[in-house]
Amino acid sequence: FPAAISTGIGSQVQRPLATVVVGGLLIGPLMLLVVVPALCMLFRERSR
As a whole number of Å, the end-to-end CA separation of the chain is 45
Average pLDDT over residues 41-48: 88
* Cα dihedral across residues 12, 17, 20, 23: positive or negative: negative
Give the rounded percent of residues in the chain with a pLDDT score beyond 90. Answer: 52
Single pTM value for the model: 0.61
What pLDDT does residue 6 have?
Answer: 77
CA-to-CA dists, residue 13 to 5, 9, 16, 23, angstroms: 12, 9, 7, 17
Average pLDDT over residues 6-28: 87
What pLDDT does residue 9 have?
Answer: 82
Mean pLDDT score across all residues of the chain = 88
**Position 31: which residue type?**
M
Q: Provide the residue ranges of all domains of the chain, joining segments of one domain with +.
A: 2-47
